[in-house]
């Protein structure tokens, strides 16, 4: 049998281009970005179940079937319609973000072979981008049932590094099926009492009209939370929770558990050898592992400010590398010590959580701009000193590329004897890089960056003086 599929593909592609005999007009995009495609209903009908349904339920207007797809961009539809006609698609020149958006659209169009193919391309060739945009990828993959490969890719990472999602700002909007998939996994690397805390937090966020103070809860409040968590609670390993945590964390919410389960939990706590009737799920497998498809175990622990690319750039600055590290070869772990919106914007918090810890990065998200500022201190922050200058030639301050910032700015210390300035005043004032260059006093929402003839670092902002921040984070930089 002789096959001429390439010629067939070319002929159908030419039919799309010359529009001969078209009977359908597809309008894509919105407002000024709309575009009309003149196509053939018979081809759409045969090649896409989505269009099969559309054509069945759409009437002709001016001798042509009119279909509007405002949610699909002209660029995306042009790629897909060429595949529908010619059966050929090449993703080599597309950015991963475009491929991901294409994946969402081909799933909507019910083109199953492309759904599987695009997932494979993203996982095999663009894994770094998936990790860099992990929160979005994870949320969407569990919203769409057909994204099984992406779901597995995300879960393989999360069971080993669950804090990427459990500690993220997006955790409370996590889909129920995504949370259940994590809870069911025997390899989830997290203490069971912490898992319980996170499940309760997720459930309370999803349940309306719950009083903020648990003492004010009624029986109906507990029933509502129980209903919200009915599919999650069976997957918690209650008998792996330490006794103190059972009393401190589980007992206040025991009304959301079945009475028999709570009785058995207490029975095991008091008389461990006594038989019970509740199912005892096995302990989770605790292992020390690295991320798959990576040459290092670097993870930004759900930073709300910096990306993996930022971490690679900062790491290269620390090592004085002239080339920015590949995101798969970052030689440092960024260990989150402080997040302002989680821990507080005070000197007491800063020094309690970062005092005497060597090698830290302070990251600032400036209010009302795209600016991400920060500084690296290879030495220690010390709460018991006032007006003390610490000497180092390895510290630096910076402004990271982001939004309208097309290029990062790195400013290494010029005056090593004044690189780090401690003015804690019994732990109230914040850190300073140099005497005037970047730092804060007792209000960690207000920071200062001065530029004058006595600066110990160069400029990283076009405008000096006081500025406000929406968030700040402190990471310890640990060599892998």
In this predicted structure, which of 148-152, 226-230, 285-289, 416-420 has the lowest mean pLDDT?
Answer: 285-289
pLDDT of residue 297: 44
Quote the CA–CA distance of 125 and 162 in Å, as a whole number: 24
- Using 50, 70 and 90 to split pLDDT, how confident is the model at 60? confident
User: Any residues with CB less than 8 A from the CB of 194 and at least 6 apart, and which?
Assistant: 166
Q: What is the pLDDT of residues 397-437, one digit of tens each?
A: 999 988 667 789 999 998 888 899 876 666 667 889 988 89
Name the DSSP letter for residue 114: H
Cβ burial 210-227 (10 Å sphere, 16+ → b, else e): beeeeeebeeebbebbbe
* H helix or E strand, kind and range, residue 152: helix 148-158
- Using 50, 70 and 90 to split pLDDT, how confident is the model at 157? confident
pLDDT of residue 436: 84
Strand, helix or coil at 335?
strand
User: Any residues with CB less than 8 A from the CB of 363 and at least 6 apart, and which?
Assistant: 303, 305, 306, 372, 373, 374, 472, 473, 474, 475
pLDDT of residue 148: 95
Quote the CA–CA distance of 319 and 321 in Å, as a whole number: 5
pLDDT of residue 295: 39
Handedness of CA 475, 478, 479, 480 (dihedral sign): negative
In this predicted structure, which of 107-121, 235-249, 393-407 has the lowest mean pLDDT?
Answer: 393-407
**Global pTM exceeds 0.85:** no
pLDDT of residue 289: 41
User: Any residues with CB less than 8 A from the CB of 297 and at least 6 apart, and which?
Assistant: 290, 291, 333, 480
8 Å CB contact between 83 and 114: yes
pLDDT of residue 453: 56
Beta-carbon neighbour count of residue 247 at 10 Å?
Answer: 13
* H helix or E strand, kind and range, residue 179: helix 176-183
Residue ranges of domains in the chain, CATH in brackets: 5-89 (3.30.710.10), 159-270 (1.25.40), 308-479 (no CATH)
Task: Record the tokens describing residue 319, joined without a space.
Answer: 């090592």
Per-residue pLDDT, averaged over 31-55, amounts to 92
Is 119 a residue whose pLDDT tops 70?
A: yes
Q: What is the mean pLDDT of the chain?
A: 88
CA dihedral 322, 323, 327, 333 (to 10 degrees): -20
In this predicted structure, which of 115-129, 235-249, 446-460 has the lowest mean pLDDT?
Answer: 446-460
In this predicted structure, which of 246-255, 347-356, 400-409 has the lowest mean pLDDT?
Answer: 400-409
- Greater confidence (370 vs 330) lies with 330
Is 296 a residue whose pLDDT tops 50?
A: no
pLDDT of residue 299: 53
Quote the CA–CA distance of 149 and 147 in Å, as a whole number: 6
Per-residue pLDDT, averaged over 267-286, amounts to 91
Strand, helix or coil at 226?
helix
In this predicted structure, which of 133-137, 260-264, 467-471 has the lowest mean pLDDT?
Answer: 133-137
Is 378 a residue whose pLDDT tops 80?
A: yes
pLDDT of residue 235: 96
- Using 50, 70 and 90 to split pLDDT, how confident is the model at 458? confident
pLDDT of residue 180: 94
Is 122 a residue whose pLDDT tops 80?
A: yes
């Amino acid at each position: 049998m002789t096959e001429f599929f390439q010629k067939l593909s070319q002929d159908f592609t030419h039919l799309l281009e010359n529009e001969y005999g078209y009977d359908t007009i597809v309008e894509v995009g919105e407002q000024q970005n709309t575009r009309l495609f003149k196509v053939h209903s018979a081809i759409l009908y045969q090649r896409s179940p989505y269009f099969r349904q559309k054509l069945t339920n759409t009437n002709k207007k001016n001798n042509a079937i009119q279909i509007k797809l405002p949610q699909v961009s002209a660029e995306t539809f042009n790629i897909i319609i060429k595949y529908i006609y010619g059966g050929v698609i090449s993703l080599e020149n597309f950015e991963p973000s475009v491929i991901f958006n294409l994946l969402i659209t081909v799933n909507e169009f019910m083109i199953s072979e492309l759904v599987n193919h695009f997932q494979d391309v993203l996982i095999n060739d663009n894994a770094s981008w998936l990790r860099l945009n992990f929160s979005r990828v994870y949320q969407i993959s569990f919203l769409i049932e057909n994204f099984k490969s992406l779901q597995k890719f995300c879960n393989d990472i999360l069971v080993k590094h669950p804090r990427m999602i459990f500690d993220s700002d997006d955790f409370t909007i996590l889909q129920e099926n995504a949370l259940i998939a994590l809870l069911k996994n025997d390899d989830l690397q997290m203490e069971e009492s912490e898992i319980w805390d996170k499940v309760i937090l997720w459930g309370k966020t999803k349940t309306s009209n719950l009083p903020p103070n648990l003492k004010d809860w009624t029986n109906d409040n507990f029933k509502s939370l129980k209903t919200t968590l009915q599919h999650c609670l069976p997957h918690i390993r209650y008998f792996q929770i330490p006794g103190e945590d059972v009393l401190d964390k589980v007992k206040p919410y025991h009304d959301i558990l079945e009475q028999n389960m709570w009785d058995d939990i207490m029975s095991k706590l008091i008389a461990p050898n006594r038989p019970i009737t509740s199912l005892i799920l096995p302990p989770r497998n605790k292992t020390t592992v690295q991320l798959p498809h990576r040459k290092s175990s670097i993870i930004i622990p759900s930073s709300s400010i910096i990306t993996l690319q930022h971490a690679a750039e900062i790491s290269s600055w620390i090592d004085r590398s002239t080339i920015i590290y590949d995101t798969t070869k970052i030689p440092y772990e960024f260990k989150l010590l402080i997040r302002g919106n989680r821990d507080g914007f005070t000197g007491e918090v800063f020094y309690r959580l970062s005092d005497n810890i060597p090698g830290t990065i302070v990251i600032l998200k400036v209010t009302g701009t795209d600016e991400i500022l920060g500084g690296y201190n290879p030495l220690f922050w010390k709460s018991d000193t006032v007006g003390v200058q610490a000497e180092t030639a390895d510290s630096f301050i910076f402004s990271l590329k982001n939004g309208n910032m097309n290029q990062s700015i790195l400013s290494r210390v010029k005056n090593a004897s004044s690189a780090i300035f401690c003015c804690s005043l019994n732990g109230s004032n914040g850190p300073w890089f140099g005497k005037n260059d970047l730092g804060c006093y007792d209000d960690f929402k207000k920071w200062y960056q001065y530029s004058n003839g006595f600066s110990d670092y160069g400029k990283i902002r076009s405008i000096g003086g006081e500025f406000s921040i929406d968030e700040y984070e402190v990471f310890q930089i640990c060599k892998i």
